Chains A and B, each alone.
Chain A
């Protein structure tokens, strides 16, 4: 799987075993966790400082709960890797990045050049999210 991993980070990827949310919450030193669509990302908030990797799983691309999970974690200050795994498709990459993902492990590999192009889809953005981009309304008013 490693060769299909796209990362937008400079640090080296965590090699810690990735636990399910339940197992993670039961352990007190685990550093990597996977959350499924129905699980509450806020359960991780008390533990953010010790986490190096959160995998957010997308069993089907049409299930968009992972976008909210990602944003919530970033909004609460999570700084580690946030990796989208599973049915992660080219046309979803730019939105995923805007929601805070900086790692992508698509079940079907995506070429790095295609991914770069996808990240550049939008010259500007209308909303302020967690990706640090200044939204159009801010640019309009010099904010």
Chain B
């Protein structure tokens, strides 16, 4: 994992001091809320429905045991004993006091963490594949590239007041586990015909009210020009992105309105100019960063296979572990989605336990997934059973990865001031209705995603089944969508028909699963059947 040197540490420390000063000026009345708001947002501090909310960055979703433990301690010390892991691989605390916020940032800085640029119209925390460095199918580890971009984007002086927020994802395998093409910039690290490593740039994806899948803007940018190319992409956006309407300000709208070809032309022109300026960190800097990720300490010569005699364990191991590039290892996913639970929430004790388990069983590494779960990326297969027993005792061994119970849900109207409807109670009802593990496994992979409003923090457009909360004359109402995907087969879900109340939508989903079970062909997932037979049979069953 990456480790700060004195420069990185000094930058984060400087930020803490800057924010301490800004908070003091606000508390003393020297600046108004209007002036303070963008400053606190640049440090991840929102004013939410019940209190301030702090969003802490977990760069590319990777953290170690010490960092995770501190996240648990912060939950106890400054919040109400829990945190919420988000689809952007961050953690949010819901009950923060403004007067505590500078000290929380100072605490985070002691373990090389921060809340920099987790909100505001700047380049946000960079996300990546949660199996990076472990995945059997990756070309290289994408995180060194993500770290290079993290440093480039931190306190970038030109891009701090963009038209709108800006999200970048970096992956390095054909299996997309990071919803890469639904980001403002999605980068896939690829190899060209000459065998050189470089970056494929997708620009102009996003969710929100006008979801769009990013087109390829350049097929291959040499690795040592990636920062310059990103600089060019951002400069064109900063100059020409719309600022007259905040709902049309994302880069997806610019790329859509002028067209991918024209956007590409402008970027290439800017890129040619930027290349003359020598802005790119040298190969030696990339190598310095990459060295931190090269060897987490995997043992070689281990054999694949483990004792599966405990049937409950075997079910979990089949569902919640993924192949590892190294023989004898697995990547383990800890589900934060118990039946009837709050997706993504973990108590301080659970967070600290996961820290301890990462130290004991996963070479001191954890990942936060965009599906609001936690990954232990490097677990020896011979340790799986002991790990499972400890997880199970703490209520963290729900075997539902990628099943209907593994629901993504945004905070919704229970916490979010922008919401139209609550998301969490719906997730709870659905996961309770489908609580039977056998039933979930019979249904197979089924990605259900819930957002409490059109902003789409819960990725509803990208759900095999998506649910969108709307306001119907002051009462909560839910629209049902089918057919989305954020994997390599990216597609956008479409609204099926009129909306439902809370109970109605749970019934409608159950009906849809019955249609699927009757119609499915051998080996088809829900989404495959839906794509083959279309919406009509589902509509007919649901609406009569």
Contact = CB atoms under 8 A, between A and B. Distances in A.
Interface stretch (A8-16, A21-29, A123-131): A123-131
B543 interface: no
A128 B277 contact: yes
Contacts of A61: 38, 161
A141 B285 contact: yes
Interface string A85-126: 000010110111011000000000000000000000111111
28 contacts: A40-B239, A64-B160, A65-B243, A67-B158, A67-B159, A68-B235, A69-B239, A71-B158, A75-B273, A89-B35, A91-B22, A92-B160, A95-B155, A95-B157, A98-B157, A123-B14, A124-B7, A125-B155, A126-B152, A127-B156, A127-B157, A129-B157, A129-B158, A135-B281, A137-B151, A140-B285, A141-B284, A143-B282
Contacts, number: 93
Nearest to B8: A136
Contacts of A63: 161, 243
A136 B7 contact: yes
A61 B39 CA distance: 12
A71 B239 CA distance: 12
B18 interface: yes
A86 B239 CA distance: 19
B494 interface: no
A94 B157 CA distance: 8
A132 to B, nearest CB: 13
Nearest to A64: B161
A94 B128 CA distance: 30
Contacts of B281: 135, 137
Contact of A64 (B7, B159, B273): B159
Interface of A: 37, 40, 61-65, 67-69, 71, 75, 89, 91-92, 94-96, 98-99, 121-129, 135-137, 139-141, 143
Interface of B: 5, 7-8, 10-11, 14, 18, 22, 35, 38-39, 121, 151-152, 154-162, 235, 238-239, 243, 273, 277-279, 281-282, 284-285, 288
A9 to B, nearest CB: 19
A91 B39 contact: yes
A108 B68 CA distance: 44
A126 B11 contact: yes
Contacts of B22: 91
A125 B154 CA distance: 9
A140 B7 contact: yes
Contacts of A143: 282
Q: Report the 10 A-B pairs with minimum CB-CB distance, sorted nearest first.
A: A64-B161, A98-B157, A95-B157, A137-B281, A137-B285, A136-B7, A67-B158, A123-B10, A126-B151, A141-B284
A33 B35 CA distance: 29
A89 B35 CA distance: 9
B155 A141 contact: no
A127 B7 contact: no
Contacts of B156: 126-127
Given A122-B14, A124-B10, A128-B277, A137 B282 contact: yes
A121 B160 CA distance: 15
B106 to A, nearest CB: 16
Contact of A140 (B35, B154, B157, B288): B288
B251 to A, nearest CB: 14
A68 B157 contact: no
Given A63-B161, A139-B7, A140-B5, A68 B238 contact: yes
A75 B157 CA distance: 15
Given A75-B273, A121-B14, A122-B14, A62 B161 contact: yes
B261 to A, nearest CB: 20
Contacts of A139: 7
A45 B209 CA distance: 39
B157 A99 contact: yes
A98 B159 CA distance: 12
A65 B5 CA distance: 33
Contacts of B11: 122-124, 126, 136
A89 B161 CA distance: 13
A61 B279 CA distance: 26
B243 to A, nearest CB: 6
A92 B120 CA distance: 14
B279 A128 contact: yes
Contacts of A71: 158
B282 A141 contact: yes
Contacts of B152: 126-127
A100 B425 CA distance: 51
A65 B277 contact: no
Given A141-B284, A143-B282, A126 B277 contact: no
A99 B157 CA distance: 7
Contacts of B151: 126, 136-137
A142 to B, nearest CB: 10
B239 A65 contact: yes
A128 B278 contact: yes
A64 B278 contact: no
Given A61-B38, A137-B151, A140-B5, 16 more contacts: A62-B38, A64-B160, A65-B243, A68-B235, A96-B157, A123-B14, A127-B152, A127-B157, A128-B279, A129-B157, A136-B7, A137-B285, A139-B7, A140-B288, A141-B284, A143-B282
A41 to B, nearest CB: 9
Contacts of B243: 37, 63, 65
